[in-house]
Amino acid sequence: MWNIIAWIVLGLIAGAIAKAIYPGHQGGGILATIILGILGALVGGWLGSVIFPGSAGAAAAGVGALTIPSIIFAVLGAIILLFIWGLVTRRTA
């Protein structure tokens, strides 16, 4: 139960920071921000394990825990997802 709450809190923090950092208007409400953050945490955790292979990568990513490295990796993952979402939904004028 506490892991789910930690993922939601991490998702909210990471999604809000990513939306604040990333330029432009992304839209979406609080639920979209949480989902973006949670998916960003997954992407960030994967990215951390690629950059820091082995058990050190999992510890560096710290996904699922509310630590500074986990928030940083989750925000980076959420920014990557925002960038990809912008590419997919870009409309030509």
Q: Structural domain of residue 15, as residue ranges?
A: 2-89
Taking each helix axis as running N to C, give the angle between helix 30-51 and helix 68-89, from 0 to 180 degrees, rounded to the nearest 10: 110
Asked if 56 and 68 touch (Cβ cutoff 8 Å), the reply is no
The token pair at 38 is 């949670």
pTM equals 0.71
Report the chain's mean pLDDT, rounded to a whole number: 74
Q: Give the pLDDT confidence score for residue 24 in this predicted structure.
A: 72
Q: Give the pLDDT confidence score for residue 27 in this predicted structure.
A: 66
Q: How many domains does the chain have?
A: 1
pLDDT per position as a tens digit, 37-78: 788 878 887 787 788 776 555 554 555 567 777 778 888 888
Residue 67: phi and psi, rounded to 5, are -120, 165
